[in-house]
Homo-oligomer: A and B are copies of this chain.
Protein backbone atom coordinates (compact mmCIF):
# COMPACT_ATOMS: atom_id res chain seq x y z
CA UNK A 1 0.00 0.00 0.00
CA UNK A 2 1.26 3.46 -0.94
CA UNK A 3 1.84 5.43 2.25
CA UNK A 4 2.14 8.84 0.58
CA UNK A 5 -1.52 9.93 0.76
CA UNK A 6 -1.67 9.00 4.44
CA UNK A 7 1.56 10.82 5.22
CA UNK A 8 0.10 13.84 3.45
CA UNK A 9 -3.29 13.73 5.18
CA UNK A 10 -1.99 13.01 8.67
CA UNK A 11 0.70 15.67 8.62
CA UNK A 12 0.69 17.36 12.05
CA UNK A 13 3.47 18.68 14.32
CA UNK A 14 2.38 16.50 17.23
CA UNK A 15 2.09 13.26 15.27
CA UNK A 16 5.26 11.16 15.59
CA UNK A 17 6.51 8.69 12.99
CA UNK A 18 5.60 5.77 15.24
CA UNK A 19 2.06 7.12 15.69
CA UNK A 20 1.77 7.41 11.95
CA UNK A 21 2.80 3.78 11.53
CA UNK A 22 0.03 2.69 13.87
CA UNK A 23 -2.46 4.82 11.99
CA UNK A 24 -1.40 3.54 8.62
CA UNK A 25 -1.71 -0.05 9.75
CA UNK A 26 -5.47 0.25 10.30
CA UNK A 27 -6.30 1.66 6.85
CA UNK A 28 -7.51 -0.67 4.10
CA UNK A 29 -7.76 0.09 0.37
CA UNK A 30 -11.23 0.12 -1.16
CA UNK A 31 -12.43 1.21 -4.59
CA UNK A 32 -15.69 2.63 -5.92
CA UNK A 33 -17.07 2.77 -9.44
CA UNK A 34 -18.44 5.95 -10.92
CA UNK A 35 -21.92 6.42 -9.49
CA UNK A 36 -21.39 4.23 -6.42
CA UNK A 37 -22.67 5.52 -3.11
CA UNK A 38 -20.07 5.65 -0.36
CA UNK A 39 -22.62 6.72 2.24
CA UNK A 40 -26.37 7.09 1.85
CA UNK A 41 -28.77 9.44 3.58
CA UNK A 42 -30.38 7.69 6.54
CA UNK A 43 -27.51 5.24 7.05
CA UNK A 44 -25.23 5.21 10.08
CA UNK A 45 -21.64 6.02 9.28
CA UNK A 46 -19.15 3.65 10.89
CA UNK A 47 -15.98 4.56 9.03
CA UNK A 48 -14.35 7.32 7.04
CA UNK A 49 -12.21 7.33 3.93
CA UNK A 50 -9.20 9.09 2.54
CA UNK A 51 -9.70 9.79 -1.13
CA UNK A 52 -6.50 8.79 -2.95
CA UNK A 53 -7.68 9.31 -6.52
CA UNK A 54 -11.01 10.42 -7.97
CA UNK A 55 -13.74 12.92 -7.20
CA UNK A 56 -16.66 12.57 -4.79
CA UNK A 57 -19.76 14.68 -4.37
CA UNK A 58 -21.90 15.04 -1.26
CA UNK A 59 -25.50 16.15 -1.63
CA UNK A 60 -28.87 16.43 0.05
CA UNK A 61 -32.43 16.77 -1.21
CA UNK A 62 -34.18 20.01 -0.34
CA UNK A 63 -37.85 20.43 0.55
CA UNK A 64 -38.90 20.18 -3.13
CA UNK A 65 -36.71 17.13 -3.72
CA UNK A 66 -34.14 19.12 -5.65
CA UNK A 67 -30.72 17.58 -5.44
CA UNK A 68 -28.29 20.13 -3.92
CA UNK A 69 -24.54 19.55 -3.96
CA UNK A 70 -23.13 20.39 -0.53
CA UNK A 71 -19.47 19.65 -1.25
CA UNK A 72 -16.90 18.17 -3.56
CA UNK A 73 -14.15 15.98 -2.17
CA UNK A 74 -10.87 15.77 -4.08
CA UNK A 75 -7.63 13.80 -3.82
CA UNK A 76 -6.12 13.69 -0.32
CA UNK A 77 -9.28 14.88 1.38
CA UNK A 78 -11.51 13.01 3.81
CA UNK A 79 -14.89 11.51 3.06
CA UNK A 80 -16.42 11.91 6.49
CA UNK A 81 -19.84 12.79 7.87
CA UNK A 82 -19.06 14.16 11.31
CA UNK A 83 -22.54 14.19 12.81
CA UNK A 84 -23.20 10.60 11.85
CA UNK A 85 -19.77 9.27 12.77
CA UNK A 86 -19.34 11.16 16.05
CA UNK A 87 -22.89 11.66 17.23
CA UNK A 88 -24.27 8.34 16.02
CA UNK A 89 -27.19 9.86 14.15
CA UNK A 90 -28.27 8.82 10.62
CA UNK A 91 -26.44 10.64 7.85
CA UNK A 92 -28.30 13.61 6.35
CA UNK A 93 -26.07 13.57 3.32
CA UNK A 94 -25.27 11.28 0.42
CA UNK A 95 -21.73 10.71 -0.78
CA UNK A 96 -21.36 9.52 -4.36
CA UNK A 97 -18.35 8.83 -6.58
CA UNK A 98 -18.32 11.13 -9.64
CA UNK A 99 -15.39 9.22 -11.12
CA UNK A 100 -13.81 5.86 -10.29
CA UNK A 101 -12.28 6.30 -6.84
CA UNK A 102 -9.49 4.68 -4.88
CA UNK A 103 -9.81 5.18 -1.13
CA UNK A 104 -8.29 4.13 2.15
CA UNK A 105 -10.86 3.20 4.74
CA UNK A 106 -10.59 3.32 8.51
CA UNK A 107 -13.27 1.79 10.72
CA UNK A 108 -14.68 3.90 13.53
CA UNK A 109 -13.67 1.27 16.07
CA UNK A 110 -9.99 1.55 15.09
CA UNK A 111 -10.21 5.30 14.84
CA UNK A 112 -11.75 5.53 18.27
CA UNK A 113 -9.08 3.37 19.90
CA UNK A 114 -6.24 5.40 18.39
CA UNK A 115 -7.99 8.72 19.03
CA UNK A 116 -8.10 8.01 22.73
CA UNK A 117 -4.62 6.50 22.95
CA UNK A 118 -2.53 8.85 20.80
CA UNK A 119 -2.44 12.44 21.99
CA UNK A 120 -1.09 13.77 18.71
CA UNK A 121 -3.89 12.05 16.81
CA UNK A 122 -6.48 13.82 18.93
CA UNK A 123 -4.76 17.09 18.15
CA UNK A 124 -4.79 16.25 14.47
CA UNK A 125 -8.47 15.34 14.58
CA UNK A 126 -9.43 18.51 16.36
CA UNK A 127 -7.41 20.59 13.92
CA UNK A 128 -9.11 18.82 11.03
CA UNK A 129 -12.55 19.70 12.37
CA UNK A 130 -11.51 23.28 13.04
CA UNK A 131 -10.27 23.52 9.46
CA UNK A 132 -13.54 22.06 8.12
CA UNK A 133 -15.50 24.65 10.08
CA UNK A 134 -13.25 27.37 8.75
CA UNK A 135 -13.69 26.30 5.13
CA UNK A 136 -17.45 26.07 5.54
CA UNK A 137 -17.57 29.55 7.05
CA UNK A 138 -15.62 30.88 4.10
CA UNK A 139 -18.09 29.28 1.74
CA UNK A 140 -21.09 30.68 3.63
CA UNK A 141 -19.60 34.13 3.58
CA UNK A 142 -18.92 33.86 -0.12
CA UNK A 143 -22.59 33.01 -0.71
CA UNK A 144 -23.48 36.31 0.95
CA UNK A 145 -20.82 38.65 -0.34
CA UNK A 146 -19.88 37.36 -3.82
CA UNK A 147 -21.87 37.33 -7.03
CA UNK A 148 -22.52 34.02 -8.78
CA UNK A 149 -19.90 34.94 -11.38
CA UNK A 150 -17.30 35.59 -8.69
CA UNK A 151 -18.06 32.31 -6.97
CA UNK A 152 -17.67 30.50 -10.27
CA UNK A 153 -14.38 32.21 -11.05
CA UNK A 154 -13.05 31.40 -7.59
CA UNK A 155 -13.92 27.77 -8.04
CA UNK A 156 -12.32 27.80 -11.47
CA UNK A 157 -9.07 29.24 -10.17
CA UNK A 158 -8.87 27.18 -7.00
CA UNK A 159 -10.41 23.82 -7.81
CA UNK A 160 -10.54 23.50 -11.55
CA UNK A 161 -10.42 19.70 -11.29
CA UNK A 162 -14.02 19.84 -10.06
CA UNK A 163 -15.15 21.70 -13.16
CA UNK A 164 -13.41 19.15 -15.33
CA UNK A 165 -15.06 16.13 -13.72
CA UNK A 166 -18.42 17.15 -12.28
CA UNK A 167 -21.54 17.70 -14.39
CA UNK A 168 -22.56 21.33 -14.70
CA UNK A 169 -25.81 20.88 -12.80
CA UNK A 170 -23.92 19.62 -9.73
CA UNK A 171 -21.53 22.55 -9.85
CA UNK A 172 -24.48 24.90 -10.28
CA UNK A 173 -26.31 23.70 -7.17
CA UNK A 174 -23.04 23.87 -5.24
CA UNK A 175 -22.70 27.51 -6.29
CA UNK A 176 -26.33 28.14 -5.37
CA UNK A 177 -27.58 28.88 -8.89
CA UNK A 178 -29.47 27.07 -11.65
CA UNK A 179 -27.70 25.14 -14.37
CA UNK A 180 -28.99 27.59 -16.99
CA UNK A 181 -27.42 30.49 -15.13
CA UNK A 182 -24.12 28.68 -14.81
CA UNK A 183 -24.16 27.91 -18.50
CA UNK A 184 -24.61 31.61 -19.27
CA UNK A 185 -21.95 32.66 -16.78
CA UNK A 186 -19.57 30.25 -18.40
CA UNK A 187 -20.30 31.69 -21.85
CA UNK A 188 -19.75 35.24 -20.59
CA UNK A 189 -16.52 34.56 -18.76
CA UNK A 190 -15.05 32.49 -21.61
CA UNK A 191 -15.12 35.50 -23.94
CA UNK A 192 -11.80 36.98 -22.86
A143 at the interface (CB under 8 A from B): yes
A35 at the interface (CB under 8 A from B): no
CB within 8 Å of B: which of A110-139?
115-116, 119, 122, 125-127, 129-134, 136-137, 139
Q: Which residues of B contact A129 (CB under 8 A)?
A: 82, 126, 129-130, 133
Interface residues of A, dominant DSSP:
helix
Say which size band chain A's interface belongs to: 35 or more
Measured CA separation A64–B50 after assembly (Å):
38
Measured CA separation A137–B133 after assembly (Å):
9
A173 at the interface (CB under 8 A from B): yes
CB within 8 Å of B: which of A125-174?
125-127, 129-134, 136-137, 139-141, 143-145, 173
**Additional A-B contact list (7), CB under 8 Å, known A83-B133, A140-B143:** A82-B130, A87-B127, A116-B122, A122-B122, A129-B130, A136-B140, A139-B140
